[in-house]
């Protein structure tokens, strides 16, 4: 691993490359915050994929792609005399120091949970901090992640179950309400109750230390791998899935499970 001087030198060289690209590359020269934003989202998703796969080489590559976008936005702001990458670093450093009084101040904590509990209160005290507990949750977040974040933030100020096992009664209650609306045939309330059920399941996952987004994505990948196996084996046998019985497909599905897909 490189020492601090080598790391700073590498970062400086990267800034130099972007400076040159903004002048000499037609594509880089015309980029704006608006044009980069969709690509930034894609890069973050690709980093997420690499992290879930725990692919060290890919994680390194995708971190570089995300870092490029960070310095690109700072470069654009620098050109407009608004701020630069040094301002970004300084602001982040100051925020980290302010939000960690147990490291840089006199406050005492005994575990990570106490750090999390203090986090929202500290943010509310910041000069430009959130004016309400839930104000910092981006409205554009995917619904599953947003549900987790609003529950997490509410819990950080004490709005949470006293015993995590109590959440299962709520989950069962929501299942019952979904079933009731389905029997009634009320599509509007069905949607509402399904939303409540999903919200309660996200809550249960949070309480048991499982991030629902990660858990669901791993299940997505497992389903895709097994379904692809079913489709592949059916093709080898000269069959189309739509012509197979559910029992035949289940047999191949269970075979995929036995093989570790």
- pLDDT tens digits along 14-23: 999 999 999 9
Q: Which CATH number fits domain 132-212: 1.10.287.1080, 3.90.850.10, 3.30.540.10, 3.40.50.300?
A: 1.10.287.1080
- Which one has a higher pLDDT value, 128 or 97? 97
- pLDDT tens digits along 149-171: 999 999 988 899 999 999 999 99
pLDDT of residue 204: 98
Domain 4-87 identical in fold to domain 132-212: yes
Distance (Å, whole) CA 259 – CA 148: 33
**pLDDT for residue 197 is more than 90:** yes
Structure tokens at 132: 């309400």
Domain ranges (residues) in the chain: 4-87, 132-212, 214-258
Confidence of residue 193 (pLDDT cuts 50, 70, 90): very high
Distance (Å, whole) CA 151 – CA 127: 24
pLDDT of residue 107: 83
4-87 homologous superfamily: MazG-like (1.10.287.1080)
- pLDDT tens digits along 48-92: 999 999 999 999 999 999 999 999 999 999 999 999 999 999 999
pLDDT of residue 64: 97
pLDDT of residue 122: 75
């Amino acid at each position: 691993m490189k020492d601090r001087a080598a790391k700073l030198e590498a970062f400086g060289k990267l800034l130099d490359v972007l400076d040159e690209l903004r002048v000499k590359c037609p594509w880089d020269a015309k980029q704006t915050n608006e044009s980069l934003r969709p690509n930034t989202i894609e890069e973050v998703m690709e980093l997420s994929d690499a992290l879930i796969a725990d692919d060290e080489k890919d994680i390194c590559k995708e971190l570089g792609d995300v870092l490029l976008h960070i310095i690109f936005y700072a470069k654009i702001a620098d050109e407009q005399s608004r701020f630069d990458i040094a301002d970004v670093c300084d602001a982040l450093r100051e925020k980290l120091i302010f939000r960690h009084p147990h490291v840089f101040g006199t406050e005492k904590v005994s575990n990570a949970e106490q750090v999390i509990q203090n986090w929202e209160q500290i943010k509310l005290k910041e000069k430009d901090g959130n004016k309400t507990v839930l104000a910092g949750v981006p409205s554009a977040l995917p619904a599953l992640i947003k549900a987790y974040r609003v529950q997490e933030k509410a819990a950080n100020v004490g709005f949470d179950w006293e015993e995590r096992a109590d959440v299962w009664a709520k989950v069962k209650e929501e299942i019952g309400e979904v079933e009731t609306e389905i029997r009634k045939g009320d599509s509007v309330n069905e949607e509402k109750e399904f939303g409540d059920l999903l919200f309660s399941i996200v809550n249960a996952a949070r309480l048991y230390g499982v991030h629902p987004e990660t858990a669901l994505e791993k299940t997505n990948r497992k389903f895709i791998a097994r379904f692809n196996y079913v489709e592949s084996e059916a093709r080898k046998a000269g069959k189309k899935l739509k012509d197979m019985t559910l029992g035949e497909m289940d047999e191949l599905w269970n075979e995929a499970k036995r093989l570790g897909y």
